[in-house]
Amino acid sequence: MLLELFDHPLLGRLKNRVVMSAMTRSFADQNHCVTAASAEYYARRAADGVALILTEGTIVHPTGDGYNNVPYIYTPEQTESWKQVTQRVHEEGSKIFCQLWHCGRISHEDFTGGVPPVSSSNKQAGGINRQNGKPYGVPRALETEEIPEVYQMFRQGALNAIAANFDGVQLHLAHGYLADQFFDAAINDRTDKYGGYVENRCRFALELTEIILGELGAEKVMVRLSPSRGLGDGFYDWPDLDDMLAYLIPEFERMGLRMLDISCARADYYQTSGRIIRQIRPMWPHLIMGGASLLPGQAESELQEGYLDMVTWARFILANPDFVTRLREGKPLMPMESEMLKTLV
């Protein structure tokens, strides 16, 4: 099932059910354009047989940056640079979606042009930012009337992605970044229509998704969520998790969204995203992808039991450019090592 042809009503005919998950690589040039090396990196995975590639997080506006040397899809030059990636991937017969990203408070003025990062609130993220060795910046809570400006950043990024010949976009609403800062009651202390009740904390993500669906259509829009994920040495769930899912998932379906990526962010699948997928599946008859850390046999089981429709892998695909070939031939998979992050192979 995993490695068989997969016909999906929105995505069309796919080589199999293998998805390359988004992974920040930080190899963009000084203008935040992707390079020929990145095009080769993605093309190698497509040539090996990965059916669907989700790009590394791609910044929709300079004020949404939070990392060193990550690609943008904001200027015409940046948009044009992505065409070499989409062309190479399409030549190998694979599909590719651009992951649209705004870091929110997971940032610092060093990355946002000297202005404070924005968030749902003014609560500073804890710890040290590994990108610059400093504490995270103290964010500024977005004013209610500013929120449509952020939607416009994503809207333009989505239109730019289509202009760069992507097959679609993934809205990154996960992993503690901007949209997740609205979902999370531990961060979101707003008193306007974007804070407080479950419905209000979901409003940012729902309004944003509806706008992008209206521009691109259901066949070109996917959402990434991480209601449960690894955090430090433990796991972290959204506060009011059950109520959040019971409201959010039917609302996504009502507006016409049909593709979800449930991510666990470097955590055990069964304790995080696998558990969430089992909650979501009865409410969601459409495409769900997830996995990340699963072994091939476990992935096959999740597909056979109907929890997943496609399986995402990140570290295994980074460490094994011939990942699909290894699966087909039953060869062992190389584990990812930190040295592998220093080059694009």
Just list the catalytic residues: 177
Cβ–Cβ < 8 Å for 228, 237: yes
| C-alpha gyration radius of the chain | 19
| Spatial distance between the Cα atoms of 52 and 49, rounded to a whole number of angstroms | 9
Token pair 């103290």 in the structure block, residue: 138
| Spatial distance between the Cα atoms of 320 and 2, rounded to a whole number of angstroms | 17
| Spatial distance between the Cα atoms of 334 and 216, rounded to a whole number of angstroms | 38
Q: Cα 84 vs. chain centroid, distance in angstroms?
A: 21
> Minimal CA–CA distance to 218: which of 226, 210, 227?
210
Cβ–Cβ < 8 Å for 53, 46: yes
> Minimal CA–CA distance to 101: which of 46, 28, 179?
179
Q: How many CB atoms lie within 10 A of CB 150?
A: 22
Q: What is the DSSP string of 67-134?
A: STT--B--SHHHHHHTHHHHHHHHHTT-EEEEEEE--TTSS-TTTTTTSPPEESSSPPPPSEETTTTE
Paired residues of 128 in beta bridges: 135
